């Protein structure tokens, strides 16, 4: 089982003004608009031997039933060589998947939703 989260690439700037000496917690990272959408995911230890950079990947969005809404396709860009301990899943490795497209049709009669 591979679990993960979408990592959207946004265009823009943070318009809040900061004063000298004020500390803030980073909330987002601004990146160029031509960057593809990537998924940051975790691969369970039992599956890590089957996952490597360059492979094609099929991404199922957990909150949407893939049999109704379909899946997203992409390419595995990076797989961490070091496992981390997760309380619920045991040993897991981080991985990044670059998606081929940034839209998913929620209903054939409705336009695609863009990330």
Phi and psi at residue 79, to the nearest 5°: -130, 130
Q: What class does CATH assign to 1-9+34-60+71-115?
A: mainly beta
Per-residue model confidence as pLDDT tens digits over 19-67? 677 766 776 666 666 677 888 889 999 999 999 999 999 988 878 888 8
Per-residue model confidence as pLDDT tens digits over 93-113? 999 999 998 776 766 555 555
- Contact predicate 72/61, CB 8 Å: yes
């Amino acid at each position: 089982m591979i679990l993960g989260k979408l990592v959207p690439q946004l265009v823009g700037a943070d318009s809040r003004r900061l004063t000298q000496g004020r500390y803030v917690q980073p909330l987002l990272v601004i990146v160029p608009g031509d960057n593809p959408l990537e998924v940051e995911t975790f691969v369970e230890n039992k599956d890590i031997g089957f996952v490597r950079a360059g492979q094609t990947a099929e991404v199922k969005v957990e909150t949407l039933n893939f049999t109704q809404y379909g899946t997203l396709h992409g390419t595995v860009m990076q797989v961490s060589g070091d496992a981390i301990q997760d309380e619920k899943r045991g040993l897991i490795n981080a991985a990044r998947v670059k998606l081929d497209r940034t839209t998913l049709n929620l209903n054939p009669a409705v336009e695609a939703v863009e990330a």
